[in-house]
């Protein structure tokens, strides 16, 4: 799978997209296909995807989020037991504005596994939507 990831990274360096296709797949097709287990499956998919890549810093992870159109990832708090990130994008604001039912389990799983690469402990991530502030807070808990 790593070969496909590298090819996709090359494509994303070349193209611009509105994200509409992604939203259709992510928020309509996948939940329909996966059913009630969609959040769990998407979380695991995110973790598995991150494990196919290598990250050396939080900046590398943030760059991946930006290049894939997931949004701008910013570390807003860090301590011994957690990292807290803010994920912002115009698409997130628009989803909130339009009342589109969303979750960020794929992104949460991805971020948990990516942070695991930077550290020696297991991580889990939960998301908290902040619709009035137009962002998603991603809290990565560390298990030492």
pLDDT in tens, 84-113: 999 998 888 887 787 777 889 999 999 999
Give pLDDT tens digits for 44-58.
999 999 999 999 999
Collapsed DSSP state (helix, strand, coil) of residue 73:
strand
Burial of 17 (0-12, 13-18, 19+ CB in 10 A): exposed
Separation CA 127–CA 139 (nearest Å): 6
pTM: 0.86
Give pLDDT tens digits for 15-43.
555 567 777 787 788 888 999 999 999 99
In this structure, the chain runs to a length of 144
pLDDT band at 7 (very low <50, low <70, confident <90, very high): low
Query: CA dist 128 to 104, 137, 142, Å?
Result: 9, 5, 17
**Packing angle, helices 58-67 and 105-118, rounded to 10:** 150
Collapsed DSSP state (helix, strand, coil) of residue 39:
helix
**DSSP string for residues in 127-144:** EEEETTTTEEEEEEEEE-
Collapsed DSSP state (helix, strand, coil) of residue 62:
helix
């Amino acid at each position: 799978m790593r070969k496909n990831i590298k090819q996709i990274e090359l494509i994303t360096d070349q193209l611009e997209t509105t994200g509409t296709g992604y939203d259709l797949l992510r928020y309509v097709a996948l939940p329909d296909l996966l059913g009630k287990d969609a959040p769990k499956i998407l979380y695991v998919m995110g973790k598995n995807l991150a494990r196919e890549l290598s990250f050396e810093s939080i900046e590398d992870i943030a760059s991946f989020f930006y290049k894939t159109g997931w949004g701008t990832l910013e570390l807003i708090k860090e301590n011994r037991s957690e990292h807290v990130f803010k994920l912002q994008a115009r698409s997130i604001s628009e989803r909130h504005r339009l009342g589109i039912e969303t979750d960020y389990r794929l992104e949460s799983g991805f971020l948990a596994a990516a942070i695991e690469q930077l550290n020696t402990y297991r991580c889990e991530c939960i998301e908290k939507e902040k619709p009035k502030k137009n962002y998603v807070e991603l809290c990565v808990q560390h298990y030492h």
